[in-house]
C-alpha cells in the first residue's frame, strides 16, 4: 500500500464544536501565557548565555525543549494565521535569539553551554541533550514551513550535522542514542524539509542502535559510577533492540515518541521489520495498556507503563504528553497502513485523554489525567486534582502550544489520487486542486456533509468509526448502496464543485465494559457516545460520585449540563446508597439502603472546567 501523508495544518480550517475553540484558545491564551511563563522562569533569557552560577533561575536540562515547543506552536499558529504580523515579528525575534546561542561547532544547548560545559554528551541517559535538539529541529521545520525563511532551519541543520559527527557507528563516535527519545521523529521532519537523506540516516542509526549489546547506557553509566539495572534500561526502552520489543514499557512519553519515530523511519525507508515492531508495540499499548481515555502510563513511578491490564483509576498517571504522543503514533500508523483501527485509537486519545489535559480557556493544565478523583486522591509530584497554570517540569503546557494548531491536520490525510477524512470535523480542507467543505457538529452529532468546493478526479475516503453500529450515506441526495471497505466509505469519481456527500453516523449512548482482566474496572461501566468518553463530576451530581450506582440497562437521555452550553450531556437514573458507617472506617452486617436519583455525565475531557470537582469515569454499576 502506498502510505498516506499528513496534510499541512494550514490547509485545514475548522469550525467544529470541539477543535475550533481549542485552536483559538491556543492562539489567544496557551501560547501567550506559555511565552510569559517562559520569560518569567528564565527559559527565554537563558539563550543570551549570560547566566552565571549564583544567579536565580538555574537553567535546567530540559528548558530548551520547553521554549522550542512554544516556538513550534507559534510557527504553526502563524501558518494558520499568516496575516498576524505581530506574531510573525515576535517569533522572528525569538528565533534570532535562539540562533545566537549556537556555538561555533554547531552545538546549541543552553544548559550545557552556561551551566555544565564540561559535561556535554557525558550523561545521555539522563540529560536530555538530544531531546532538546529534537524539539529545536521540530520548531525550525515549522518555522521554515510557516515563513519560508531558512535561518532557523539552517542553524538546526548545522546542529544536526555536528551531532552526526558525535554519534554514529564509526570508530571514535559515541555509539549511543537518546535517553529521552524525540530526535528520531524530528530528524525525519528535518529530512523531509531539507530533502537531505543524511538526517533520516541519523534517525535510523539512533533507532537501530538502541538496546543492542554491549548496552550503551550501561557502558556510559559505568563511566559515571552509576549502575543501571534492567528496569532503568527498560524505562528508556533500551533493554533490548527495538525490533525485539513486544511490550510497551518504561516512561510512556519516551516510549511513544520512540514508536512514532520508528514509524516515521519505517515509512520513509520501507523497512518492514521496523513497521512490524511498530504494529506489535501499538497492539501492546492499545490492546493491553491504555486507559479508555487513550491515556498511557499506569504509575507515577517512572511515569511509566506497567503490566498488561494494570489500569488503576485512582493512581493513574496517563500523562497529557503521552496521550498527545499516542495520537501522533496512531496517526503515523494510520497513514503507514491505511488501517482504520489506528485512526480509531487516534480519535479516542484525541477527544479524551489528550484534550482533557488543557482547560477550555487554554491556560490551565493537567499533567497526569486521573480517572477517579476526590478529596482522598493522593497528589504528589505532577499529580494534581485541579488544573495548574504551569509546572516546574512544564512539558505538558508547552506540548499543547504545538499540539492544538495541528488538530485540523489530524483530521485529514492524503496520498496521490486520494483524500482521506479520518475525523469529520466541520470546516474545510484543500489539497492539491481539491477543496472540500465539511459541515455538521461532529463528534456531538452524526450528520455530516461533505461539499465539494473545487473538484477533480480523486478518491474521497471517509472513516466509518469502529464504534458506529449503523450508518448510511447519500451522494447528491441519492442513497449510496456501497458498503465501507475496511473501515472507510470510499467514493471514487470526477468530483464537481457542488457535489455533496451526506454521511449519517448513528450516535448512541454506549455502555462500555473493560476486559475482565482489568480488575480496577470489574463491575463497572463507562459511558461513551461516539468517540467521547463521559464522566460524572460532583459539580453536577454532588459529592460521592464514585459511590453512585448507574444501572447499565436504562434509557439514557441527552441534555445539557450547567456551564457547558452546546455540549451534549448524558442524563440517566442512578442509585445512591445510604451511609451506614456512622463515621467509622469499616462497619459490619449493615446493608445500606438505596434511593433513586438522577445523574448527569459530561465529556471526560471537559471535567474541571467549572471549578473544583470530584470525578468518576468508571462507574459502579449493578
Restricting to residues 312-351, name those near a second copy by CB under 8 A.
312, 314-315
Stretch that binds a second copy, among 80-88, 218-226, 324-332, 369-377 (CB under 8 A): 369-377
One of 28, 85, 222, 515 touching a second copy (CB under 8 A): 515
The three cell numbers of residue 303 are 511515569
One of 96, 231, 447, 562 touching a second copy (CB under 8 A): 231
Q: Which of 132, 395, 401, 421 is catalytic?
A: 395
Using rule CB under 8 A, residue 587 touches a second copy: yes
The three cell numbers of residue 100 are 545566537
Stretch that binds a second copy, among 179-187, 218-226, 290-298, 446-454 (CB under 8 A): 290-298
Q: Who's near 133: CB < 8 A, 6+ residues apart? A: 108, 109, 156, 159, 160, 163, 183, 186
Using rule CB under 8 A, residue 612 touches a second copy: no
- In the complex, the smallest distance separating the C-beta of residue 520 from a second copy, rounded to whole angstroms, is 6
Query: Residues in contact with a second copy, total (CB under 8 A)?
Result: 68
The three cell numbers of residue 206 are 539512533
Using rule CB under 8 A, residue 115 touches a second copy: no
One of 522, 554, 598, 611 touching a second copy (CB under 8 A): 522
Name the nearest CA neighbour of 572 among 553, 590, 546, 592: 553
Using rule CB under 8 A, residue 555 touches a second copy: no
- In the complex, the smallest distance separating the C-beta of residue 185 from a second copy, rounded to whole angstroms, is 26
Q: Which residue has the cell 445512591?
A: 576
Nearer to a second copy, 270 or 516 (CB): 516
Residue 237 backbone class (left: φ over 0; alpha: ψ -120 to 50; beta: rest): left
The secondary structure element, H or E, covering residue 147 is: helix 129-147
Stretch that binds a second copy, among 15-23, 48-56, 135-143, 305-313 (CB under 8 A): 305-313
Using rule CB under 8 A, residue 596 touches a second copy: no
One of 25, 101, 187, 286 touching a second copy (CB under 8 A): 286
Is 395 a catalytic site residue?
yes
Q: Are 210 and 177 a contacting pair, CB within 8 Å?
A: yes
Using rule CB under 8 A, residue 226 touches a second copy: no
Distance between start and end Cα atoms, the chain: 47
Stretch that binds a second copy, among 269-277, 378-386, 402-410, 482-490 (CB under 8 A): 378-386
434-440 and 427-431 strand pairing: antiparallel
CA distance 610 to 399: 23
Maximum Cα interatomic distance, the chain, rounded to a whole number of Å: 77
- In the complex, the smallest distance separating the C-beta of residue 150 from a second copy, rounded to whole angstroms, is 44
Nearer to a second copy, 77 or 550 (CB): 550
CA distance 126 to 383: 22
One of 34, 65, 298, 359 touching a second copy (CB under 8 A): 298
Stretch that binds a second copy, among 47-55, 58-66, 151-159, 304-312 (CB under 8 A): 304-312
Using rule CB under 8 A, residue 597 touches a second copy: no
Q: Which of 138, 184, 303, 347 is catalytic?
A: 303
Nearer to a second copy, 241 or 592 (CB): 592
Name the nearest CA neighbour of 165 among 136, 221, 205: 205
Using rule CB under 8 A, residue 299 touches a second copy: yes
One of 9, 179, 211, 300 touching a second copy (CB under 8 A): 300
CA distance 229 to 240: 13
Stretch that binds a second copy, among 67-75, 94-102, 181-189, 584-592 (CB under 8 A): 584-592
Using rule CB under 8 A, residue 588 touches a second copy: yes
SS3 213: coil
Is 339 a catalytic site residue?
no
One of 27, 189, 204, 288 touching a second copy (CB under 8 A): 288
Name the nearest CA neighbour of 8 among 276, 462, 408, 398: 408
Contacts 24+ apart (CB under 8 A), 231-239: 231/302, 232/125, 235/302, 235/304, 236/125, 236/179, 236/180, 236/181, 237/181, 237/210, 237/211, 238/177, 238/210, 238/211, 239/211
Restricting to residues 454-513, name those near a second copy by CB under 8 A.
467, 469, 508, 510-513
Q: Who's near 183: CB < 8 A, 6+ residues apart? A: 130, 131, 133, 134, 137, 163, 203, 206, 261
Question: How many CA atoms within 13 Å lie on the side-chain side of 596?
Answer: 3
> Based on the number of CB atoms within 10 Å of its own CB, is 121 exposed (0-12), middle (13-18) or buried (19 or more)?
middle
Kindly list the residues in this chain that would bind a second copy in the complex (CB under 8 A): 231, 286-288, 290, 292, 298-302, 306-310, 312, 314-315, 372, 374-378, 380-381, 467, 469, 508, 510-520, 522-523, 526, 528, 544, 546-547, 549, 552-553, 577, 579-581, 583-592, 616, 620, 622
Residues catalogued as catalytic? 303, 395
Amino acid at each position: 500500500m502506498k502510505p498516506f501523508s499528513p496534510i499541512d495544518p494550514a490547509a485545514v480550517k475548522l469550525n467544529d464544536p470541539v477543535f475550533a475553540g481549542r485552536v483559538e484558545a491556543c492562539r489567544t491564551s496557551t501560547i501567550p501565557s506559555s511565552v510569559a511563563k517562559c520569560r518569567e522562569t528564565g527559559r527565554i533569557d537563558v539563550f543570551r548565555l549570560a547566566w552565571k552560577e549564583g544567579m536565580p533561575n538555574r537553567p535546567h536540562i530540559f528548558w530548551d525543549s520547553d521554549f522550542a515547543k512554544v516556538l513550534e506552536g507559534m510557527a504553526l499558529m502563524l501558518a494558520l494565521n499568516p496575516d498576524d504580523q505581530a506574531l510573525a515579528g515576535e517569533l522572528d525575534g525569538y528565533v534570532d535569539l535562539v540562533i545566537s546561542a549556537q556555538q561555533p561547532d554547531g552545538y546549541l544547548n543552553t544548559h550545557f553551554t552556561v551551566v555544565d560545559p564540561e559535561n556535554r554528551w557525558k550523561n545521555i541517559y539522563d540529560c536530555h541533550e538530544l531531546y532538546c535538539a529534537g524539539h529545536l529541529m521540530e520548531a525550525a521545520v515549522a518555522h521554515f514551513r510557516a515563513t519560508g525563511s531558512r535561518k532557523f532551519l539552517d542553524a538546526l541543520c548545522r546542529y544536526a550535522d555536528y551531532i552526526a559527527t558525535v554519534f554514529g557507528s564509526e570508530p571514535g563516535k559515541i555509539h549511543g542514542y537518546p535517553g529521552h527519545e524525540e530526535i528520531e521523529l524530528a530528524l525525519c521532519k528535518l529530512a523531509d524539509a531539507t530533502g537531505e537523506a543524511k538526517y533520516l540516516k541519523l534517525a535510523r542509526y539512533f533507532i537501530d542502535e538502541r538496546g543492542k549489546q554491549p548496552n550503551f547506557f550501561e557502558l556510559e553509566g559505568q563511566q559515571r559510577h552509576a549502575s543501571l539495572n534492567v528496569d532503568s534500561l527498560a524505562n528508556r526502552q533500551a533493554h533490548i533492540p527495538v525490533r525485539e520489543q513486544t511490550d510497551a514499557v518504561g516512561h510512556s512519553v519516551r516510549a511513544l515518541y520512540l514508536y512514532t519515530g520508528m514509524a516515521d523511519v519505517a515509512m520513509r525507508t520501507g523497512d518492514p521489520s521496523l513497521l512490524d515492531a511498530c504494529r506489535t508495540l501499538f497492539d501492546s499499548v492499545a490492546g493491553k495498556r491504555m486507559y479508555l481515555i487513550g491515556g498511557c502510563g499506569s504509575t507515577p513511578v517512572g511515569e511509566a507503563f506497567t503490566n498488561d491490564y494494570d489500569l488503576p483509576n485512582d493512581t493513574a498517571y496517563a500523562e497529557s504528553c503521552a496521550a498527545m504522543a499516542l495520537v501522533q503514533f496512531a496517526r503515523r500508523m494510520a497513514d503507514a497502513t491505511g488501517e482504520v483501527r489506528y485512526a480509531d485509537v487516534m480519535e479516542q486519545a484525541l477527544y479524551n485523554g489528550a484534550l482533557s489535559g488543557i482547560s477550555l480557556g487554554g491556560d490551565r493544565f493537567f499533567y497526569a489525567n486521573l480517572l477517579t478523583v476526590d478529596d482522598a486522591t493522593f497528589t504528589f509530584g505532577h499529580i494534581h486534582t485541579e488544573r495548574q497554570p504551569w509546572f516546574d517540569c512544564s512539558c505538558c503546557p508547552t506540548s499543547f502550544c504545538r499540539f492544538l494548531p495541528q488538530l485540523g491536520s489530524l483530521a485529514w490525510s492524503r496520498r496521490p489520487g486520494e483524500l482521506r477524512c479520518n475525523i469529520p470535523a466541520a470546516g474545510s480542507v484543500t489539497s492539491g486542486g481539491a477543496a472540500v467543505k465539511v459541515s455538521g457538529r461532529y463528534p456531538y452529532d452524526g450528520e455530516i456533509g461533505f461539499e465539494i468546493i473545487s473538484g477533480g478526479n480523486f478518491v474521497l475516503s471517509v472513516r466509518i468509526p469502529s464504534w458506529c453500529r449503523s450508518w448510511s450515506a447519500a451522494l447528491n441526495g441519492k442513497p449510496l448502496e456501497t458498503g465501507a471497505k475496511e473501515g472507510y466509505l470510499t467514493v471514487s469519481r470526477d468530483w464537481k464543485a457542488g457535489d455533496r456527500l451526506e454521511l449519517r453516523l448513528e450516535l448512541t449512548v454506549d455502555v462500555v465494559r473493560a476486559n475482565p482482566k482489568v480488575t480496577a474496572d470489574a463491575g463497572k461501566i463507562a459511558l461513551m457516545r461516539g468517540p467521547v468518553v463521559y464522566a460524572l463530576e460532583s459539580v453536577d451530581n454532588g459529592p460521592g460520585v464514585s459511590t453512585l450506582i448507574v444501572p447499565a440497562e436504562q434509557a439514557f437521555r441527552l441534555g445539557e449540563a450547567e456551564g457547558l452550553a452546546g455540549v451534549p450531556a448524558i442524563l440517566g437514573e442512578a442509585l445512591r446508597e445510604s451511609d451506614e458507617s456512622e463515621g467509622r472506617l469499616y462497619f459490619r452486617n449493615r446493608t445500606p439502603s438505596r434511593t433513586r436519583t438522577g445523574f448527569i455525565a459530561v465529556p471526560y475531557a471537559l471535567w474541571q472546567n467549572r471549578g473544583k470537582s470530584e470525578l468518576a469515569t468508571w462507574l459502579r454499576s449493578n
